[in-house]
Amino acid sequence: MTLNAFDTGLATGLDALLGVAGNPFTLGRPGRTPVPNITCRKSPQRPVLIDGGNGQLTEILMTDFVMRVSDLPFGFPLRGDTFTDGTSVWTVQPLDNEKPWVSPNPSQIRVHTKQTA
C-alpha cells in the first residue's frame, strides 16, 4: 500500500508518539500463541456505569489502545483478543455493538477494550 504525503505524516507522528509514550504489551488471541513486546499507547476512557436493575451499579473501565496497523500480529482485532502488561488484562470487547476497532488512517488503529483483570 502506498501512502500519500498526509498519511506518511500521520505515520511519522504515530511513530513519534509511540517512541515517547508507548509501552510494550502482549497481545493474545484464543487458540494462538501470545505475541509479546508490541508497542501501544494505552488511552483510558471515562468509566461507564451499568445499572444491573437490582440496585447495583457496575463500573466498566474502557481503554483504547493506539498502535501501528503493521504491528498487528493476528490481523485486525476480534472480540475476545487481549492486551496485557503482565499485571492487568484488557479484552477487546467494545461497549454496545460497535466495531472493536477504528482505523483513522492506513497506518494507525485504535482498538476498543475493557479491563477484565
CATH number reported for the structural domain that contains residue 77 in this entry: 2.40.10
pLDDT in the model for residue 64: 86
Number of domains making up the chain:
1
DSSP readout, the chain?
----HHHHHHHHHHHHHHHHH-EEEEEE-TTS--EEEEEEEEEE---EEEE-SSS-EEEE-EEEEEEEGGG-SSSS--TT-EEE-SS-EEEE--STT--SEEEEETTEEEEEEEE--
- Check residue 91 and give its pLDDT: 95
pLDDT tens-digit profile, the chain (117 residues): 455 655 555 556 655 655 556 788 999 999 999 999 888 877 888 888 888 888 888 888 888 898 888 889 999 999 999 999 999 999 998 767 788 998 887 888 889 999 998
Residue 40: give the domain boundaries: 5-115
Output the pLDDT for position 27.
Answer: 93
Cell numbers at residue 80, please?
Answer: 475476545
Query: Which residue's C-alpha cell is 476498543?
Result: 112
